[in-house]
Structure formats: structure tokens, C-alpha cells
Structure 1
């Protein structure tokens, strides 16, 4: 049996520990359910303990089956050795819809609780479909205060150990904190060497909110991503000097910024390589080189922009941080 890699942990403002490398499960090309379950079981055998899913990804059921199998086979001693995160989709961002939405996710996962529940996007979609195929005219004003009260109720009912947000700007987190009884533990955002999020990272640090990075390798999804990231000359130069892959350098950079890294590969060898970022580090001059990389947001969120909607431009969605 292969050696299981220990992933470092961070203590969240909720008091719970979160492993700082997660296996992401969003893919435009999701394997068949049985194959996906098998991949997740392999990941647990390798040392992955944190899994990030969402209703819209279509991966909750396969992940739930993998968790059950891992417990049955003794790959992990107990449920609390795994950290499972899922999200509230935009069609459910209303006070009375939050708890029922989480209960449905828990049903698909076959779990009594999730370790982290996130608001997927800071918006409301007037459409029952859990799908990225959004008609822009269906994007309507988002009741942040009411939605967050629903998230807090998930915590109070012990359905979620920690709650947080995803794709929130500093301004939106500030608005949320004005009324929050329980502060968000995590803000999951696009972050990579090509979109470094320095200002947001600093803000979240000050507020005690842990940043989790999606798309740290650029991704090549239909709706998100920063393709070509692994071809960036600075990354390739550092990788060659370090005898690492450009992907490992990109992931290590995110980790060294004090963020949780969400990786998504269903390839056995790359899954192993993605775990091998903890026993070495980038030097000051290498970090300085990476800082020079031109910046570009991969996911602009145009799908949420409409002339009659709450966000009339990409600038409004991201509060000018584009």
C-alpha cells in the first residue's frame, strides 16, 4: 500500500480544522458515477481528506458512496477524519429555502452533516434548475441577510459544522458581516498565479476568513478558467530548477499565500503529484518572479449580467475588482 500523505490543517474561526488541500469535483466532463466513486476512494487511499462538491456539480451522490466505502473498508477510522464541503445553489438563496436545500444535499451524500456549507454565488436565480445554463433575465436581487440567517440556522441545527461563502468580494463580505451572528469561516474564490487576489487575501486575513482557491491550475472548463496557465514561462523556469512540475509550483504558490488549495484531477498520477507540495518551498526570489506574472480573471461571470438584473456589468458583480 502506498504511503498516505499527511495534508496540513488550518483552524477556522468556527473552531474546526480544515485540511489545506481539497479534491475538487466540478468538471464539464464528469466520469460515470461508479467510476467517479472509485476515483474518490483512490483519493482517500492516497491521503485526500477534504472533498469539495456542490449540487450543480452532480458529484454529491458518488462522493457519498465513496465516503461510505472508505469507512466500511477502514481507509479512515471515522467520519470526522473527512472534511466534506458542499454549496447552496443560486435558486435556493432565500431564508426559507436554505435548510431544505442542505437537507437534500445531505440526502444525496448520505451524511448527517457537512463540515462546510457555502453560498455558491452572491446572487439569486429565479429558476428551479440546478444548472449553469442560466437565462440572464432570471438573475434577480439577492437577499444576503435572509440567506445568511438560513446558513446560520444550518449551523445551529448541526447540519453544517462551518458556514461560508464563495465568489464574494471584500465589499460583499463587509456587507454580510454587518448582520452576521456567525461570521463566514471560508471564502472560496478563483485564485492562481494568474489571478493572485492579494487585496482580497489581505482583507480576509484581517477578518479571520480563510481563503480557499478554486481553479489554482487555470482549468479549461467551458465557463471558468485561465487556460494556458501551466505554460507561463516563470512557472516553467522555476519548475525546471526545482525538479517539480509547473502544476506543483502553481499549487505550492497558493499554499504559501496561506490559502487552501482545491485541485481537480481524476488522473491517478496527477492526483498523487498534486499531494506532493508540502515538503519543499518556494524561495523569496521565486515568489518575486511569480509576482511579475500578468494578471487576468479567468471567470468573469458574464452569465449573471443583465441590463435589468442586479448586476448590469462585470464590474458591478466583482465590485470593480476585475
Structure 2
């Protein structure tokens, strides 16, 4: 099965389905990545913050070395963390991710959040009272560092993550290089229709993280798989509720990146390319939207660049 791809505004292409790796544990993530590549996944999403770049890089290189794929067959996304938002910190942070991955270039490099933390080695710097130590570095400054990463050919494409429409508009007004992608939470609960439409109008593609709604999330938010419309469509198409959720997101023009380390689920999640939901069915699913987030990053509200 060849995964459909979407073309960025810089001419590069991204597979419209990938493997998410947030919270994938050491020792599990390498096996998950290798199996996903064997199944047919060609897009692997990680981030410096996930602390699994090294293991993911090793898994990818193993599948290149055994002839399963060539480097140009696999699309790797990683992200700049909040503690390296000053312009002069971005290129060194990108080089560190490249070193971790053991690759010559990153396909897509994203600003993980528009929010900056205090610079330093601590991923989440906290003061004596336990509060996150924020920094007021403007994401426009951070973007200039991202443009340098592209200029130095460390990365093929640059984009953002967790940016709202207002932040994107401000970035577009100042950027020398347009962002190609905005990675945001997109689920049955949170279809982000207006943000997706804004991105499409401005030639920014969208990747949807946590498309399965993070079952068992700490906020107690249901992923709506038990809703009658989802159950009925799963029966109609002989698919799982997870398949229906990912297909809905894909047909909305968004690239879903479900996370799993379980082989059966990695294979099952990939099974979305042999059916189409009708326009009426898409509309019915849209109505399920509650606006609930499984990744609200509530602590970030103290930052003036908090996006929600």
C-alpha cells in the first residue's frame, strides 16, 4: 500500500499518514518504528522533548541498512523544544536532533510550541515553588533561527506545532520562508475545522496528533468511539472505530499520526486506505465536536504566547 502524499508550499512532499511516538517508552519505540516501516508507514514523527530520537534513528537506519527502505523513502519529523527558542539556540538544537537521529537531514522541523521556556538543559525548568520558568522570547525570533536551519540544509522543510490562526497570521506577515505545516491536536472531539480551513487558505498543511483521542487520558475525556454514528460506520465498512476516526481526519485534508507500540494496532491503524466516508457521513461525524483537548498544556497559560 502506497500512502498518499501532500505537497508543501516549498515543493517537498509528506506522506499523509504516520506513526506518532510521544510517550513511547525506551525499548518499545525502536521495535514499533521497525514494524511500522515493514507494514508500510513512511512517516515517523518524534520530538527532542520525547527523548526517543536516538532510538528512533537507530531503528530507521537499521531498516535502511537491511534494504527495506532508502533514506529518501522515509519522512522524519522532529521538533524544537521550548528551552531553545532564542535565535542563536535554534541551529545548535537542530544539529543535536540530527546527531541523535544519526541522519544527514530532517525532512520536517517544527517549533513544538509558540511558548518559550528559560534557556538551559532542563526540559521543563521550574522555580523553587515548582512553577515553570517561562521566557518572553517571541516566536518570530525563533522562526528566524528555523529559517537558518533551512538555509544551512539541515532540514528540508520548516513548520510549527500548536499555533493558532492569529499566531500563524502574525508569523506569515514576517516570515521570509513560509511555514509548510502546522501540527495540532485533531480528534473526533476537536476537529479544528476553522483552523484547518485557515491553514488551507494560506498553503499550510496540517498534521493531526493524538487522532485516537489518547484513550485513558488523565482528563477523563472519552474518545467518542462508542457514539452510535462511529459504531454504525465501523460496522458498515468492517473497520475499527480508530479507523473511522483516522479516515475522517484524512478526508478532512489532515495527516493523522496515531501513536502505538503494539504491533497489532500499528497494523490495524494503517488499514484506512480502501474505503471512503460519504460527504453525509463526514458531516455527521463533524457534529460530534465538543472542543475537548487531551493536550491542553494548562501550565502554559502563564505564557503570553499560550495558543488556546
Give the TM-score range, shorter chain.
over 0.9
Asked whether the 8 Å contact 2:18–2:42 carries over to 1, the reply is: yes
Q: Please, what TM-score do these two structures have when normalized by structure 1? A: 0.89
| Partner in structure 2 of residue 215 of structure 1 | 210
Identify unmatched segments of 5+ residues in structure 2. none
Contact 2:26 2:55 (C-alpha < 8 Å) held by counterparts: no
1:285 to 271, 280, 287: 280
The answer for the alignment partner of 1:176 in structure 2 is 171
Whole-angstrom CA distance in 1 between matches of 2:189 and 2:298:
19
Aligned match of 1:110: 102
**Within 5 Å, which residues of 2 pair with 1:1-322?**
5-27=1-23, 30-33=24-27, 35-76=28-69, 78-126=70-118, 128-129=120-121, 131=123, 135-220=130-215, 226-298=221-293, 299-306=295-302, 309-310=303-304, 317-318=307-308
Shift of 1:128: 2.8
Give the superposed CA RMSD: 1.9
SS in 1 for 2:257: strand
1 CA distance for matches of 2:89 and 2:220?
30
Kept after mapping to 2: 8 A contact 1:127/1:138: no
Distance 1:94 1:198 in 2: 32
Partner-residue secondary structure (3-state), 1:263 = coil
The number of residue pairs the alignment matches comes to 304
Residues in 1 aligned to 2:263 and 2:67: alpha-carbon distance in whole angstroms = 21
3-state secondary structure, aligned to 2:18: strand
Give the secondary-structure state (helix, strand or coil) at the position aligned to 1:104. Answer: helix
Partner of 2:246, secondary structure, is helix
Whether contact under 8 Å (2:125, 2:133) holds in the other structure is: no
Distance 1:221 1:280 in 2: 28
Q: TM-score, normalised by structure 2?
A: 0.93
Q: Distance in 2 between matches of 1:113 and 1:53?
A: 14
State the SS of the aligned residue for 2:225: helix
Give the whole-Å Cα distance in 2 for the aligned partners of 1:254 and 1:294: 12
Partner Cα distance (1:67, 1:161) in 2: 18
